[in-house]
Amino acid sequence: MKELVVLSGKGGTGKTVVLASFASLAKNPVIADCDVDAPNLHLLLSPTVKERGRFSSKKVAVIDGRLCNNCRECVAACRFDAFSIIGNEHLQKVAIDADACEGCGVCMRVCPSRAIRLKEQDSGEWFVSETRFGPMVHALLAPGGENSGKLVALVKQKAKVMANRTGAETVLVDGPPGLSCPAIAAAGGADIIVLVAEPTASGLSDFARIADLCSQMKARTALIVNRWDINSRVAESIEGEASARGIQVLGRIPYDEMVPSLLAKGKTPIESSDGEARAAIVDIWNKLRDME
């Protein structure tokens, strides 16, 4: 079983469309959406949820007002400015800002009256579903949720277990934008990372940074330039940068007006009988299969 992860650094370059297209071309894949805070793959794959569960990873400190003797040891010890003093001059109380709290537990350990404890906070939900292309694992982080990297790792792990059970040859992973914890978690353990870049000044800068991350992680990496004809000069610069780094250039996808219309109907470019984007993606998929 091989794991293919699509990443981009910059958002909106077309990761989800490319991944959904691969899903419609692959033989018996397991599909995973690891963009857990703004997932979109389900909008194209219309999954039927078979199994779901809550995800909680973040803890926050809560104070038992009956036990608190207002000594403020917690206020002094907290490095995240999560504590504040509320009330007036006659009656003052210590309060916790749950958003600022990182759940380190220092306050709980320094509290002489044992008035503080850590409480698990609901951080999201995961789903195992069925789609027209195969089983899919996806998730939704609670708004403003932390530890999205852990939810990404959970989705990937469930997808692998599923692939082992069904004997799937490929796990196809739609990654998040950016290059911090969720992207690092998505890239971890990938057999191949496919970077989708757009030919813009921003796209070139962002490609260089995500390519740095891939090489730090020692992952085999390949490049697709999407909507290349918006700026062929920048497209060439990105491909040149890729070649210089030993990243294989898989191909270019042209700007194709059919694509937005297909997406609006919840279809991948492959599910149309023709189209320039379709032809390019089929060609890229065949190259990817030859790489293995």
11 counts as binding another protein under rule CB under 8 A: yes
Closer CB to another protein, residue 244 or residue 264?
264
Closer CB to another protein, residue 170 or residue 200?
200
Q: Which residues pair with 118 in a beta bridge?
A: 61
Helix (H) or strand (E) holding 225: strand 221-226
By CB under 8 A, how many residues form the interface with another protein? 65
98 counts as binding another protein under rule CB under 8 A: no
Of the candidate spans 73-81, 85-93, 155-163, 282-290, the one that interacts with another protein by CB under 8 A turns out to be: 73-81
Smallest gap from residue 286 Cβ to another protein (A)? 27
Smallest gap from residue 59 Cβ to another protein (A)? 7
| CA neighbor of 12 nearest in space, from 274, 164, 214, 230 | 230
Closer CB to another protein, residue 43 or residue 161?
43
Smallest gap from residue 288 Cβ to another protein (A)? 23
Rounded Cα–Cα distance for residues 223 and 232 (Å):
15
Q: Which of 3, 9, 139, 268 binds another protein (CB under 8 A)?
A: 9
80 counts as binding another protein under rule CB under 8 A: yes
Longest dimension (CA), the chain: 76
63-88 per-residue burial string, b: 16 or more CB within 10 A, e: under 16: beeeebeeeebbbeebeeebbeeeee
What's 176's DSSP letter? P
Closer CB to another protein, residue 258 or residue 282?
258
Q: Which of residues 240-259 bind another protein (CB under 8 A)?
A: 255
H-state helical runs in 39-147: 41-45, 73-77, 106-110
Rounded Cα–Cα distance for residues 72 and 286 (Å):
64
| CA neighbor of 30 nearest in space, from 136, 184, 178, 157 | 136
Q: Which of residues 169-228 bind another protein (CB under 8 A)?
A: 176-184, 198-203, 205-206, 209-210, 212-213, 216, 227
Task: Supply the DSSP string of 140-173, one letter for each residue.
Answer: EEPTT-S-HHHHHHHHHHHHHHHHHHHT-SEEEE
Smallest gap from residue 167 Cβ to another protein (A)? 32
**Chain residues that interact with another protein, rule: CB under 8 A:** 9-13, 16, 35-38, 40, 43-44, 59, 77, 79-80, 99, 102-106, 109-110, 118, 141, 143-146, 148-149, 176-184, 198-203, 205-206, 209-210, 212-213, 216, 227, 230-231, 234, 255, 260-261, 263-264, 266
